[in-house]
Amino acid sequence: MTTTRALRDLGEHPVWIRMEGIAKRYGRRPVLRDVDVCFRPGRVTALLGPNGAGKTTLLKMLLGLVRPDEGGVRVGDVPVSDDPAYRSEIGYMPQLPNFPPNLTGRELAAMLDDVRGFEGTPDGRLFAEFGLEGELDKPFRTLSGGNRQKLNAALALRYGAAVLVLDEPTAGLDPLAARVLKDRIREERDAGRTVVLTSHDLGQLEALADDVVFLLDGMVRFEGEVDDLLESTGEADLEGALAGLLRDEAEGLASSEGVA
């Protein structure tokens, strides 16, 4: 059975993402240190942390764009370092889409169909749900920021990928489009897909996320369900819980420096 087929059989082969013992340095600066995390199928996991915490590097490792100095990444049963074919089963929505500016939305979709070697009928529902039909024959460079983001989302979710990596997915969307996308993300989760997302809008995340991975200084400070995080911190919402984790970290550093 090929890698692609194995990842497509979501019912028989639910796709876990496992990152074990991950370390990464850029020069002398450690970016990730002994990171062990799992992203589970049928769950939406929010990857959170302040700027410089290591989130971008971790996502790039998942996409195969950065190699760890230590440790390994597995998507399903496939070590990322061994078989690049797993990438065909990742739907990636970057924060800022950087598509060829002169291609139309329709041409971009056809190009990605070809690049991915996709067999079957791609899912074009979001084109209709976002009201993009009248925009698909316009060059990408002429689209408004909101329509660029809608096209970005529609292309990422076009292929029924087993794994979805969504970076600030609702940024720049109007409330109606944001609701359409959030409903679609829930649908993908309920279909058994592994969804990893980042966002600075904690209210949006709280409405979507089942689990949280919180990075700080390149290390995992919390990994678990949103409800467990709220209970352990005694906070009523995600913003308060993360603030509590940061406060505890700062107090711990101050205490250790005082002892020293």
Other residues' Cβ atoms within 10 Å of the Cβ of residue 11: 7
- From CA 167, how far away is CA 46, in angstroms rounded? 10
Classify burial at 152, counting beta carbons within 10 Å of its beta carbon; exposed 0-12, middle 13-18, buried 19 or more. buried
- What pLDDT is attached to residue 14? 62
What pairing do the DSSP bridges indicate for beta strands 43-48 and 17-26? unpaired
pLDDT digit string (tens) for 102-158? Answer: 999 999 999 999 998 888 899 999 999 999 999 999 999 999 999 999 999 999 999
Both structure tokens of 26: 């850029």
pLDDT digit string (tens) for 244-254? Answer: 888 887 766 55
Across the range 40-47, mean pLDDT stands at 96
Distance of CA 219 to the CA centre of its chain: 18
Pick from 221, 215, 231, 213: nearest CA to 40: 213
Q: What is the identity of the amino acid at 13?
A: H
Both structure tokens of 114: 């070809």
Q: How confident is the model at residue 257 (pLDDT cuts 50, 70, 90)?
A: low
Quick check: 206 pLDDT over 50? Answer: yes
- From CA 30, how far away is CA 23, in angstroms rounded? 8
Pick from 65, 60, 78: nearest CA to 7: 78
Across the range 60-77, mean pLDDT stands at 91
The chain-wide mean pLDDT, for the chain, equals 89
Please check whether residue 126 is in contact with residue 179, taking contact to mean a CB–CB distance below 8 angstroms. no
Across the range 235-259, mean pLDDT stands at 77
Strands in 27-176 per DSSP E: 29-39, 43-48, 70-75, 78-79, 90-93, 163-167
- What pLDDT is attached to residue 7? 45
Q: Give residue for tokens 């410089």.
A: 52
Quick check: 224 pLDDT over 90? Answer: yes
Across the range 217-226, mean pLDDT stands at 95
Q: How confident is the model at residue 6 (pLDDT cuts 50, 70, 90)?
A: very low
Correct CATH for 3-259 of 1.10.10.10, 3.40.50.300, 1.10.3720.10, 3.30.300.30:
3.40.50.300
Q: Give residue for tokens 């791609």.
A: 122
pLDDT digit string (tens) for 155-171? Answer: 999 999 999 999 999 99
Quick check: 258 pLDDT over 60? Answer: no
Determine the 3-state secondary structure of 141 from DSSP: helix
- What pLDDT is attached to residue 253? 55
Parse the chain into domains and list their residue ranges.
3-259
H/E stretch holding 24: strand 17-26
Quick check: 3 pLDDT over 50? Answer: no
Both structure tokens of 211: 């689990």
User: Sheet holding 43-48: strands in order across?
Assistant: 90-93, 163-167, 194-198, 43-48, 211-216, 219-225
Angle at 128 between CA 127 and CA 130, to 5 degrees: 70
Q: Which pTM was predicted?
A: 0.89
Q: What is the identity of the amino acid at 184?
A: R
Distances from the Cα of 204 to the Cαs of 156, 159, 208, 246, in angstroms? 19, 24, 6, 20
Length of the chain: 260
Quick check: 79 pLDDT over 90? Answer: no
